[in-house]
Amino acid sequence: MYETYEVVRSKRKTMSLSVTREGKAVVRAPLSATDEAVRAFVSRHAAWLERRLREYERGKISLADGETIEIAGRPLRITAGPHARICADAVILPAEGRERALEGLLRRLTRQRMKALLDAYCGRYGFSYASLTVTSARGRWGSCSSKRGIAFSFRTAFLPDRLAEYLAVHELCHTRRMDHSAGFWREVGRILPDYAARRAELKKYLWATCL
């Protein structure tokens, strides 16, 4: 059983398990949860935890000058500059605070690209949504609330266009069906007949959650 983890207790009802960007396992637990209950929870999820830690090790992202990072499915060389931006085949990042600067850039790119995709599919297929939010979520690429508010992780900026398209369609279909029923997938397939292949391809980008 995996033994190295941090426990954070708070006023919550359930336990959750995550891996931080530093590669540390964290269990979030109710104030009333005993150490034994926490150990049992980690034991039940040991296989998932080990898999996520291996993904973290494989997917560590270096932001040093000369390294390459994939944005919108395109490899870009990292180089130094005063402001975070993409220029030709390079991503420019300041010498200090690179991770924060990159996140800000990815948030802007995510909002711009996903709004364009959502609006295009709305115009083509009659969807509508209430709002668009860019989040820091690691556990999911996107979500849709019961009030038709759509959110995407800024990490979707790493994905190639075909996968961003799939995420846009997926969440728009949730504005009509808040489930993953057969009817939901028929709706997705009506727009993207190859959605299953695109969905499977997302697994190649689990490294993006390491940022």
Task: Please give the structure tokens belonging to residue 41.
Answer: 């929870």
CA–CA distance from 172 to each of 31, 194, 198 (Å)?
A: 38, 17, 16
The total of other beta-carbon atoms located within 10 Å of residue 195's CB is 18
125, 45: one domain = no
Residues 119 and 170 in one domain: yes
Residue 85: inside a domain, yes or no?
A: no
Sign of CA dihedral 201, 206, 209, 210: negative
Q: 39 and 105 share a domain? A: no
Co-location of 109 and 204 in the same domain = yes
Statement: residue 140 has pLDDT above 90: no
Tally of CB atoms within 10 A around 186: 11
What are the angstrom distances between the C-alpha of 108 and each of 16, 133, 164? Answer: 29, 11, 15
pLDDT of residue 1: 47
Q: 102 and 200: one domain?
A: yes
Residue 3: pLDDT above 70? no
Angle between the 46-58 and 35-44 helix axes, to the nearest 10 degrees? Answer: 70
User: Domain of 132: which CATH number?
Assistant: 3.30.2010.10
Establish if 143 belongs to a structural domain.
Answer: yes
What is the number of domains present in the chain? 2
51 and 105 share one domain: no
Instruction: Read off the amino acid at residue 207.
Output: W
22-42 tens-digit pLDDT:
678 889 999 999 999 999 999
Question: Per-residue pLDDT for 63 more than 90?
Answer: no
Beta-strand pair 90-93/74-80 = parallel
pLDDT at 57 over 70: no
Q: Which of 13-17, 59-63, 157-161 has the highest mean pLDDT?
A: 157-161
The answer as to whether 65 is a domain residue is no
Q: What pLDDT is recorded for position 138?
A: 79
Residue 149: domain span: 97-210
Let me know whether 128 and 49 are in one domain.
no
**Tokens coding 175:** 């504005």
Six-digit token string for 84: 């975070």
Supply the pLDDT for residue 86: 94
Q: Does one domain contain both 44 and 147?
A: no
Per-residue pLDDT at 4 exceeds 70: yes
Q: Are residues 45 and 120 in the same domain?
A: no
Residue 47 domain-assigned? yes
pTM, full prediction: 0.73
Q: In the chain, pLDDT over 90 holds for what percent of residues?
A: 68
Quick: pLDDT tens for 85-103. Answer: 999 899 999 999 998 999 9
Query: Residue 53: pLDDT above 80?
Result: no
Is the pLDDT score of 133 beyond 90?
Answer: yes
Q: Is residue 77 part of a domain?
A: no
Average pLDDT, the chain: 90
Tens-place pLDDT, residues 183-211: 999 999 999 999 999 999 988 887 777 66
Better-scored residue on pLDDT, 167 or 59 = 167
DSSP β-bridge partners for residue 131: 149
Cα distances (Å, whole numbers) of residue 142 to 37, 40, 132, 133, 150 = 31, 30, 10, 10, 7
Q: Do both 123 and 19 map to the same domain? A: no
Rounded Cα distance between 71 and 158, Å, is 4
